[in-house]
Amino acid sequence: MSGARTDLTTGLLGLTLSGAYLWVARGIEDSLLADEVGAAGVPTGVGLLLGLAATLLLLKGLVRWRAESRAQRSPAGEEGGSDAPAHRAAAGLLLILLAYALLLSVLGYVLSLSLMVLAVAWYAGGRERLTLLGLAVVTGPLLWLMFDFLLQVRMPRGLWSIWLGA
Amino acid sequence: MDSLLQSFNALASGWVILAAFGGVLWGILGGALPGISPSIAMALLLPFTVGMEPTVAIVLLASVYVGAEYGGSIPAILIRTPGTNSAAATVVDGYEMARQGKAGEALGISLISGLVGGLFGLLVLVLATEHLAKVALAFTPAAYFSLGVLGLSVIAGLSGGSLLKGLMATCIGLMFAFVGTDPVSGVSRFTFGSPDLLDGIKPILVMVGLFAVTEMLVQIGEPAWEKAGRVAARLKLPNWAMMKRLARPQAIGAAVGTFEGVTPGAGGTVAAFMAYSESRRWSKHPEEYGKGSPEGVAAPESANNVVTATALVPLLSLGIPGSNSAAILLGGFLIHGLQPGPMLFQKAPDVVYGLYGGLLMANIAMLLIGLVILNPCIWLVNRPKPYLIAVILALVMSGVYAIHQSVLELVLVLGVGVLGYILRLLKVPILPLVLGLVLGYLIESNYRRSLVISGGDHSIFLTDPVSLGLLVLALALTLYTGWKEFAGKGAKA
């Protein structure tokens, strides 16, 4: 992404966030114990400051964009195109991690973690079947042992609790 | 003297020594992996420290920082790929020495210079921190508010060339800090009806998301890092003649590292490059730099290890983290209900002195582990990246869940990871966000407390001499950095 496009995008996102934040801050109720500033006072100030910084960045981006237009700007669509596979890869990884979070209480810690390790390693490009399987089979139980026995943290057993007990 | 005795007392606990060795080992291995910065290596361990005794947890995290600085130099010297940002300056002469068949010698110089730097930094930390904290003890709420503002003004130096983006990141960090129950009236804010958010968003979750999850989202789309191959490297410690030759660049590294470390926002990377440059300037043989000069390895390595201790001076005395790693360490304190700053010496002196003792032990551990860790590091760097990413994410997801056994927090961490990814894409610096997050409570509560005391009169911030001084300093710092940014752009144009 060019400098101007980055500034413009950041400025627009910042303005949107500022607007949404101020809207939510308006809904903060006042209490009888409230001081002069109130519970919404400082957050409102910060929301406005974000809006101001975003507006200035937007203006800066516009100035840079015009300057870049006058100079030789690269053809539209060329910039950022090469980043698309990386963003897709990140989005895919995120989906795997979200699936793990959602399945954790259903499948239990050991199975869902082993499946997550298998899926992530394969998705990241690991293709040696034995290594993939070995890693998945070892990581889940090993980390469970570490948490459950060493750190005394109970990890979810999911459906297995029927057989293993809660 | 008393603090020295208490520091040694802490070492009587076997767990502190174990934490120092374990942290350094983890740090060296993490630092040796390109893409795993000291702060990421620390963030990965952060959730695991929840159930630990505070001193052990803090020593563990600080030792990771110490170990990672040496670990980063291993791939820098062997495969011309710095494991950490601050090892980038070591590449120049370190890799050149390796090409000349002197990889073992370069690694030995890096290890010893790191040790010299680490011990010197520790001395500065012990001598400077408590005095600074004693001054800060006299602070009123107005002065604390201004101290928070001074901390935020550091964003000017952390914004990587864009003050506006740094300011926006700070605002986002403050927004995270305001989630939960209002500190004065008890009203809930930005919780969207979720009782899980009434206690606010824990800084640890934001830090793990921003550092560890974001990095993995980035790494999965990047090509595999270079392999170390079969490097015939056996670590060789410098002899006496070489030690004498290295004394000058090490001293320069120590001086630069001290200055850059106590200055919030500068950090080990700037220190390493500045030390390299200054050491070359003051060298009798500047022409040897860049061609495999041992001095070119010693100066940056001693500087970035000095920073591992001196970066803790503003954190422990004033509660202001000046670098990513210091921010993670602050997260470690907060997990255990400890707030770094002047009161830390009153409320938990055992933790502070334990940290001093632990850092001493960590430097010794770095020397001992450094002597034998080379081959395991080469083996680790050569592991295929997909499997490493899978194991790292298994640790992250397990560690986060283990904090409160909450699936919501897992999803929150992933959301913060996505936010970090977008911010990185838009070249918005992350550290100001962390600063806003950790200073948000200090600023808001003291601002409102001051106004309650003054009956709503804002001039209290200007009539309190300490507050006024801190505000003037904050303004000067912001204007200076803004002017530097403006002048730099003018010069480029």
Domain that holds residue A29: 3-79
Chain B's closest residue to A15, CA to CA, is: B168
For position A164, what pLDDT does the model report? Answer: 64
pLDDT tens string B402-458:
888 889 999 999 999 999 999 999 999 887 898 888 888 888 988 998 998 888 899
Q: Could you give the C-alpha distances from B325 to B80, B225, B248, B288, B310, in angstroms and in order?
A: 24, 24, 28, 33, 12
Nearest CA among B465, B460, B436 for reference residue B450? B460
- Cβ atoms B381, B33 nearer than 8 A: yes
CA–CA separation, B338 and B343 (whole Å): 9
Share of chain B above pLDDT 70, in %: 92
Average pLDDT score over residue span B20-38 = 87
Residue B6 has pLDDT above 60, yes or no: yes
What residues contact B150, with CB distance under 8 A and at least 6 apart?
B320, B470, B471, B473, B474, B477
Q: Which amino acid is at B267?
A: G
Give the tens place of pLDDT for each residue, B98-107: 888 888 899 9
Least confident of B4-8, B228-232, B264-268, B270-274: B228-232
**Residue A60: strand pairing partners:** none
Domain ranges across chain B: 2-492
A45 and A100, same structural domain? no
Whether A120 and B389 have beta carbons less than 8 Å apart is answered as yes
Candidates B310, B298, B252; CA nearest to B89 is B298
**Which band of pLDDT confidence, cut at 50, 70 and 90, is reported for residue B30?**
confident
Cα–Cα distance, B189 to A21 (Å, whole number): 11
Name the residue among A92, A97, A103, A151 with its Cα closest to residue B393: A97
Between chains, do A33 and B428 touch, taking CB under 8 Å as contact? Answer: no
Domain check: are A75 and A90 in the same one?
Answer: no
End residue of a domain, out of A79, A107, A128: A79
Of all helices (H) and strands (E), which one includes residue B188? strand B188-189
* Together in a domain, A111 and A150: yes
* Residues A112 and A62 both lie in one domain: no
Comparing alpha-carbon positions, the chain B residue that sits nearest to A55 is B164
Q: Write out the two tokens for B364.
A: 């010794």
pLDDT for the residue B432:
85
- Judged by CB atoms closer than 8 Å, whether chains meet at B395 and A135 is answered as no
Instruction: Judge residue B32's burial from the number of C-beta atoms within 10 Å of its C-beta, 0-12 exposed, 13-18 middle, 19 or more buried.
Output: buried
Cα four-point dihedral sign B472, B473, B476, B481: negative
Q: Which of residues 122-141 of A touch B (CB under 8 A)?
A: 122-126, 128, 131, 135, 139-140
**pLDDT band for position B342 (50/70/90)?**
confident
Nearest-neighbour CA in chain A from B378: distance (Å): 19
Considering A24, A49, A79, which residue would you say is the last residue of a domain? A79
- Contact of A150 with chain B, judged by CB distance below 8 Å, is answered with no
Q: What is the mean pLDDT of chain B?
A: 86
CA–CA gap between residue B430 and residue B171 (Å, rounded):
12
By percentage, how much of chain B surpasses pLDDT 90?
35
Give B183 to chain A, closest Cα distance, Å: 8
Would the pLDDT of A80 be above 50? no
Average pLDDT of span A11-28: 95
Determine whether the interchain pair B386/A13 forms a contact, defined as Cβ–Cβ distance below 8 Å. Answer: no
Distance from CA of B218 to the nearest CA of A (A): 7
One domain, residues A50 and A95 = no
H or E stretch at B181: strand B180-181
The residues facing B189 across adjacent strands are B180
- Mean pLDDT, rounded, for A110-126: 95
Query: How much is the pLDDT for B1?
Result: 58
Average pLDDT for A74-101: 81
CA distance linking residue A99 with residue A116, whole number of Å: 8
Tell me what pLDDT residue B91 has. 84
Contact state of B447 with A37 under an 8 Å Cβ cutoff: yes
Contact A98 B411 (CB under 8 A): yes
How far away is chain A from the Cα of B394, in angstroms, using its nearest Cα?
A: 7
DSSP string for residues in B260-312: HHHSTTTHHHHHHHHHHHHHHHT-S-GGGTTSS-HHHHHHHHHHHHHHHHHTH
Taking contacts as CB-CB distances below 8 angstroms, the residues of chain B near A126 are 384, 386-387, 390
What confidence category does residue A116 fall into, taking pLDDT thresholds of 50, 70 and 90?
very high
pLDDT of residue B489: 59
Q: What would you measure as the largest C-alpha separation in chain A, in angstroms?
A: 71
Given a cut of 80, whether residue B68 has pLDDT beyond it is: yes
pLDDT(B294) > 50: yes
Output the pLDDT for position A35.
Answer: 78
pLDDT band at B478 (very low <50, low <70, confident <90, very high): confident
Which residue among B171, B384, B422 places its CB closest to the CB of A50? Answer: B171
Residue B288: pLDDT over 70: yes
pLDDT at residue B176 is higher than 80: yes
ipTM of the shown complex: 0.91
Contact across the interface for B407 and A147, Cβ inside 8 Å: no
pLDDT band at B490, cuts 50/70/90? low
Residue position matching structure tokens 């203006």: A59
- Number of domains forming the structure of chain A: 2
User: Residues B198-215: pLDDT tens digits?
Assistant: 888 888 889 889 888 998
Q: How far B123 CA lies from chain A's nearest CA (Å)?
A: 34
A103 and A128, same domain (yes or no): yes
**Average pLDDT of chain A, as a whole number:** 87
B187 in contact with A at a CB cutoff of 8 Å? yes
Asked if pLDDT for residue B386 goes beyond 60, the answer is: yes
Residues A149 and A98 in one domain: yes
Of the listed ranges A89-103, A148-162, B194-208, B240-254, the one predicted with least confidence: A148-162
Q: Which residue of A has its CA nearest to B175?
A: A43
Per-residue pLDDT band for B269 (boundaries 50, 70, 90) equals confident
Long-range contacts of range B482-489, CB-CB < 8 Å, 24 or more positions apart? B482/B156, B482/B163, B485/B161, B485/B162, B485/B163, B488/B161
């710095």: which residue's tokens?
B82
3-state DSSP call for residue B19?
A: helix
Domain boundary among A59, A79, A99: A79
Q: Is the Cβ pair B447, A36 closer than 8 Å?
A: no
Q: Which of B187, B220, B385 is closest, CB to CB, to A29?
A: B187
pLDDT, greater one: B483 or B413: B413
